[in-house]
Amino acid sequence: MTLRALIVTGIVVLLTALTPQTLHALIPQPRKIIYHEAQFEFNRKTQWIVENKEQEAIVRSLSSLFTKTAGFENTIRLSGKASRNAVILQTDKGLEKEAYSLDITAKKIILKASTSHGFFHGIQTLRQMLPSEINGKTLMPNAKWTVKAVSISDSPRFDYRGFMLDVSRFFMPVEDIKRLLDQLAYHKINYFHWHLVDDNGWRIEIKKYPLLTEIGAWKVDRHNNFSMRHNPEPGEPATVGGYYTQNDIREIVQYAAERHIEVIPEIEMPAHTNSSLAAYPHLTCPVVKNHIGVLPGMGGAHAANIYCAGNDSVFTFLEDVLTEVMALFPSQYIHIGGDEATKTNWEKCPLCQARMKDHNIPNEEELQSYFIKRINRFLQKNNKKLMGWDELVDSEIPEGATIFGWRGMGNAAEEAGKKGFKYIKSPAQKYYLLRYQGPQWFEPYTYFGNTTLKDIYQYEPLNTQYPESVTKNMLGVQACLWTEFVNSSRDAEYLIFPRLSAFAESAWSLPENKNWESFVQRIDKTTADYAHAGINFAKSMFNIAHKAEVTDNKVRLTLENIRPDAEIRYTTDKSEPTNSSELYRSPFFVNQGTTVKARVFINQQAFGEILALNFLSHKAIGAKVISTEANAGILTNGLLGSEKRTDGEWVEVYDRDAAFVIDLGQTNTFNSVKISWNINAGMTLHLPSELHISVSDNGTEFVKIHTQTYSENERFQFGMYRDTKEYLFGKQNARFIKLEIKNPGMTPAGHVRPDTQTRFALDELIVQ
């Protein structure tokens, strides 16, 4: 950590003659740290002095790491005095529930808190101060285990600091959940929201309904991209999945409790539950006629198979399920989902319609409110509090519900807050870890756009556009991992780490103690800790993002990396960048046909991936593109996109037509336009239905020179690929070329997402 970074943060109150690298790299950043010029060394004679068995268990969570790595087993004493070489835990009733203070001198360490939560957090801080090797499995009998002398006083910003894991789409084994919980504890996350149920698998054993796991936990084996997976056929073997037995659940809940993490189960209703309906199909509306199975993918029209709100046996079933769930989870909360319920079957269902009539329910949205309120009454009777996604705000919110704001920037949560409901901010754009965490060319395929480590770090979750009367209802924040594109626990870790650390600092630390430069200085110690713990963390923060803009008939290249300490060095002769290659200082113009290779260097050392940009050569490079499409300028920048439709190199047009006019600047000769279409059936990206090409000398009167149509059969190809077409029309002399492109139209029956709006996308207009 540099001195400058510390001064910028304003955290360090006193800085004695330390060499900068000896300061502690703690995440989340504590409220207050004062450094002293000394250090404490742990050795085999170090004693731990505790007041009770609870503290002893907390201490053991760290002392056992010494046993594994340092090879010594310290004495833990219940009470007693020690003037030196001791870690002493002392209750201080004056501290808040999760607060702690840590005073480290050369002689001893005194950790104070008022509750076991505070003691646990203090021990985690101590763990972070130790060399990264403490987190590993390697015995290092000759290592020195020292920590710098400090005085820390610390407490969290938010009471609720949550992490959600979806184990329906990817079933994560018990041991890997434990590894994850261990890291949550390290980051002072105190709630684990366990998304146990979804269309793609029911993951919790329910004794009264054994088919939930015998049938509901297993899906058909599809090897293609999640969004492209067809629904199961009747009788097709379902072999992929798994579930947690009730003993597994108890084990996880216990393991989490030992780490001061409360586990909140989520049992989805009324939607996202083809898994339970596959087991008990009578629980959906009688109008549903499709084959109900556990969905291996998005499900298309089958996502509309939801619980029938007019059938009382649905409520009996759910109350029975929740009874077993409540017995397994001591949490005060039960999350019931409530999101994304398509109500087309409710509209047609005689039972649902009869329910609405009997209860004077004006519409299907309010029928959802009836559904959730009925479940809420049951939970309240059992002294549990209901949690749900922000769709609960779209109709009358059940009494006492806590709302998770997820859609967009999660502002529906504040709307609940206005009405006095407690809420948690979990905006998809910032806290959904399935999004790309870096320049997309280097990332595994997923949905949506980018949320980098820096994006998460810099997001301020407390929305001050709302008055204090609203924001006082904000309990905290939550990061979520949906596992559509996860095929192993390592994949999950890659998406979670290190972004969880940026999230954790937003959850725990005060905004005035947050600083991106300081965080980046600290993250390298945290990732070293991950490495020793065997966590598969992403190194995306070292990759380079690019922007190639057309301006003044030229292509201007901007390169960016999120780390303030990174230098970008590049070559234009196809060689690999080294630490003596040209230093990137500001955007520069690139000639067509050039290959730019760039890489990050920190302290002369190479990091991250090499960005290789192969600029094409053609007659429209740098030409102005006139269009109402926002980023049409990239169509003549000489760069092709990747298979990732959101990598910034595609112009995507959804559910409408589009036109592009290329202005070559002066009359030129050309024979063809070559276009690559991004085909991604799962995302309903297809060939257009029609393409018309015309030319003009004045930009107003155009003459049509080419028409291409694609039949339904040609358009709706299955797969994920680049479809390059060259449209040849014979030699032309003109200044302007117009392309008019018609949308592919609704997807046909038999499509993986039938009867759905479509899009087309193109990355370059290659004029030759």
Using rule CB under 6 A, residue 51 touches ligand ACM: no
Indicate the residue among 339 and 723 with the shorter CB distance to ligand ACM. Answer: 339
Which among ligand ACM, Zn ion, none contacts residue 406 (Cβ within 5 to 8 A by kind)? ligand ACM
Residue 629's identity, in one-letter code, is: E
Indicate the residue among 186 and 447 with the shorter CB distance to ligand ACM. Answer: 447
Among 253, 256, 285, 341, the residue binding Zn ion under the rule CB under 5 A is 285
Distance separating alpha carbons of residues 486 and 165, to the nearest angstrom: 11
Using rule CB under 6 A, residue 339 touches ligand ACM: yes
| Closest C-alpha to 679, from 689, 687, 688 | 687
The residues that bridge with 447 in the sheet, in sequence order, are: none
Residue 142's identity, in one-letter code, is: N
Which among Zn ion, ligand ACM, none contacts residue 310 (Cβ within 5 to 8 A by kind)? Zn ion
Distance separating alpha carbons of residues 142 and 677, to the nearest angstrom: 61
Residue 277's identity, in one-letter code, is: L
Indicate the residue among 14 and 354 with the shorter CB distance to Zn ion. Answer: 354
CB 447 within 8 A of CB 462: no
Using rule CB under 5 A, residue 349 touches Zn ion: yes
Among 263, 308, 387, 596, the residue binding Zn ion under the rule CB under 5 A is 308
CB 401 within 8 A of CB 389: no
Indicate the residue among 305 and 581 with the shorter CB distance to ligand ACM. Answer: 305
Q: What is the CB neighbour count within 10 angstroms for residue 210?
A: 12
Q: Number of residues in contact with ligand ACM, rule: CB under 6 A?
A: 4
Using rule CB under 5 A, residue 356 touches Zn ion: no
Using rule CB under 6 A, residue 192 touches ligand ACM: no
Q: How far is the CB of 716 from ligand ACM (least distance, A)?
A: 27
Which among ligand ACM, Zn ion, none contacts residue 300 (Cβ within 5 to 8 A by kind)? none
Distance separating alpha carbons of residues 251 and 174, to the nearest angstrom: 9
Backbone angles phi, psi at 320, to 5 degrees: -65, -45
Using rule CB under 6 A, residue 406 touches ligand ACM: yes
Backbone angles phi, psi at 182, to 5 degrees: -60, -40
Distance separating alpha carbons of residues 547 and 741, to the nearest angstrom: 25
Indicate the residue among 22 and 316 with the shorter CB distance to Zn ion. Answer: 316
Using rule CB under 6 A, residue 317 touches ligand ACM: no
Question: Residue ranges of the alpha helices (H) in 419-461?
Answer: 428-431, 453-458
Coil, strand or helix: which one is 325? helix
Q: How many CA atoms lie within 13 A of 176 on its CB side?
A: 15
Using rule CB under 6 A, residue 512 touches ligand ACM: no
The residues that bridge with 403 in the sheet, in sequence order, are: 388, 423
Distance separating alpha carbons of residues 283 and 366, to the nearest angstrom: 20
> Which range of residues in 240-248, 341-349, 418-426, 523-531 is near Zn ion by CB under 5 A?
341-349
| Closest C-alpha to 135, from 537, 452, 502, 483 | 537
Indicate the residue among 72 and 315 with the shorter CB distance to Zn ion. Answer: 315
Q: Which of residues 695-724 bind Zn ion (CB under 5 A)?
A: none
Which two three-digit tokens encode residue 27?
């995440």
Which among ligand ACM, Zn ion, none contacts residue 339 (Cβ within 5 to 8 A by kind)? ligand ACM
Using rule CB under 6 A, residue 615 touches ligand ACM: no
Using rule CB under 5 A, residue 152 touches Zn ion: no
| Closest C-alpha to 295, from 304, 283, 287 | 304
Distance separating alpha carbons of residues 446 and 682, to the nearest angstrom: 12
- Report strand pairing: 160-166 vs 240-241: unpaired
3-class SS letters over 327-367: HHCCCCEEEEECCCCCCHHHHHCHHHHHHHHHCCCCCHHHH
Which among Zn ion, ligand ACM, none contacts residue 40 (Cβ within 5 to 8 A by kind)? none
Using rule CB under 5 A, residue 416 touches Zn ion: no
Indicate the residue among 135 and 369 with the shorter CB distance to Zn ion. Answer: 369
The residues that bridge with 218 in the sheet, in sequence order, are: 241
Indicate the residue among 425 and 522 with the shorter CB distance to ligand ACM. Answer: 425
Using rule CB under 6 A, residue 394 touches ligand ACM: no
> Which range of residues in 284-292, 417-425, 510-518, 713-721 is near Zn ion by CB under 5 A?
284-292
**Which residue's beta carbon is nearest to the bound ligand ACM?**
339
Indicate the residue among 357 and 574 with the shorter CB distance to Zn ion. Answer: 357
Using rule CB under 5 A, residue 314 touches Zn ion: no
Among 37, 340, 512, 576, the residue binding ligand ACM under the rule CB under 6 A is 340
> Which range of residues in 67-75, 344-352, 475-483, 701-709 is near Zn ion by CB under 5 A?
344-352
Q: How far is the CB of 298 from ligand ACM (least distance, A)?
A: 12
Q: Which of residues 721-760 bind ligand ACM (CB under 6 A)?
A: none
Distance separating alpha carbons of residues 157 and 188, to the nearest angstrom: 11
Coil, strand or helix: which one is 638? coil
Number of separate helices (H) and strands (E) present in the chain: 19, 33
Residue for token digits 């690999």?
576
Which among ligand ACM, Zn ion, none contacts residue 349 (Cβ within 5 to 8 A by kind)? Zn ion
Q: How far is the CB of 340 from ligand ACM (least distance, A)?
A: 5
Using rule CB under 6 A, residue 389 touches ligand ACM: yes
In terms of Cβ atoms closer than 10 Å to its own Cβ (0-12, 13-18, 19+), residue 68 is: middle
Indicate the residue among 199 and 364 with the shorter CB distance to ligand ACM. Answer: 199
Using rule CB under 5 A, residue 310 touches Zn ion: yes
Using rule CB under 5 A, residue 351 touches Zn ion: yes
Tell me the CA end-to-end span of the chain in Å, nearest whole number: 54
Indicate the residue among 390 and 493 with the shorter CB distance to ligand ACM. Answer: 390
Indicate the residue among 102 and 496 with the shorter CB distance to ligand ACM. Answer: 496
Sequence-separated (6 or more) residues with CB below 8 Å from residue 489: 172, 173, 176, 179
Using rule CB under 5 A, residue 462 touches Zn ion: no
Indicate the residue among 122 and 300 with the shorter CB distance to ligand ACM. Answer: 300
| Sites of contact with ligand ACM (CB under 6 A) | 339-340, 389, 406
What residues make contact with Zn ion under the rule CB under 5 A? 285, 308, 310, 349, 351-352
